[in-house]
Structure 1
Amino acid sequence: MKFVLSAVLGLAAFSASAQSVSFTEPADGATVTSPFKVKFAVSGMDVKPAGEMAANTGHHHLIINGDSLKAGESIPFDDKHLHFGKGQTETDVTLPPGKYKLTMQFANGAHQSYGSGLSKTINVTVK
């Protein structure tokens, strides 16, 4: 019984830590020309369009020069918060020259953030 319980607890810890997001393009610190391709990835969750509310599902958001949002917080609809509610996993971003912080935030079907655990930030320079 002790072995089974520790195995179950270990599996639960693995499952929770297996949920993550990442940028597959561009790399952190990259210098890019506008427009540039941004590609999103998620592990341990499924990408679904906005409106669909199912466990372990959601869609990507890209925050320009901003931070991740607390779990449960709604992601604003403005020029700084780009929504990919059709379930897109890549996009072309057009920004003027400068240094930018890009934060990817995964959120549920109602655009409510899953928090910092499903967020990733990189920095890019647009030439």
Structure 2
Amino acid sequence: MNAAARHRIPAAVRLLLLAVLLSTAPPLSAQTSQRQPAPRNALVYFHYPLDGLRVPERFTVRIGLKEMGVAPAGVDKPGTGHHHLLIDTDPGPPDQPIPSDYNNIHLGNGQTEVVVTLPKGTHTLQLLLGDHTHTPHRPPVMSQKITVYVR
């Protein structure tokens, strides 16, 4: 038997080692519970559109933020975050990263405005600030939900 063959670990043993390593890792809830703090007076809000406004199918959402700064996703700097635009959906669990899909638009480069295109009809919009890992702060910094009417 050569040296390489003697040092190979059988597949069953590798799986057992992996199971042991995973069972000793902190649970996902513990990993995500270290949410970034936010000042209680932090506020994210819509400059445009405002609640109840009629808008064209393609329009620009402009975002304001008070008592915190904006930093791109991945930048871990206290007192900062980046914007997420929630369209026709509610925020998810506050201790979990914000999903990225049609209804949860990430402005991960630190943008404070975004052009959106929505079909005709009634839509809800809400802003939610996320930290460097896309997780809401503690407490969450989110706007009121507004309604827009696409004509």
TM range (shorter): 0.7 to 0.9
Give the C-alpha shift of residue 115 in structure 1: 6.1
Equivalent position of 1:126 in the other structure: 150
Asked whether 1:113 is paired with 2:141, we answer no
Q: How does 1:52-91 map to 2 (within 5 A)?
A: 52-91=75-114
The letter for the 2-side match of 1:58 is G
Match of 1:16 among 27, 39, 62: 39
CA distance in 2, matches of 1:119, 1:107: 9
Give 3-state SS (helix, strand or coil) of 1:55's partner: coil
The equivalent of 2:35 in structure 1 is none
Gaps of 5+ in 1: 1-14
Alignment partner, residue 51 of structure 1: 74
1:32-81, Cα deviation, whole Å (9 max, x unpaired): 00201100111111000000011111000001111133433211111111
Q: Which runs of 4+ in 1 moved over 3 A?
A: none
Q: Are residues 32 and 115 of structure 1, via their aligned partners in 2, closer, same or farther at CA, if it must alter by over 3 Å?
A: farther
RMSD: 1.6
- Contact 2:128–2:140 (CA<8 Å) still a contact in 1? no
From the CA coordinates, give the structure whose radius of gyration is larger. 2
Distance 1:81 1:116 in 2: 19
| 8 Å contact from structure 1 (residues 20, 117) kept in 2 | no
Q: 1:116 Cα deviation (Å)?
A: 6.8
Aligned-partner Cα distance in 2 for 1:45–1:72: 20
Measured in 1, the distance between the counterparts of 2:89 and 2:138 equals 14
Give the number of the structure whose residues are more often strand, by fraction. 1
Contact 1:19/1:118 (CA < 8 Å) preserved in 2?
yes
Look up the SS of the partner of 2:133 in the other structure.
coil
Partners of 2:58 and 2:88 in 1: how far apart?
17
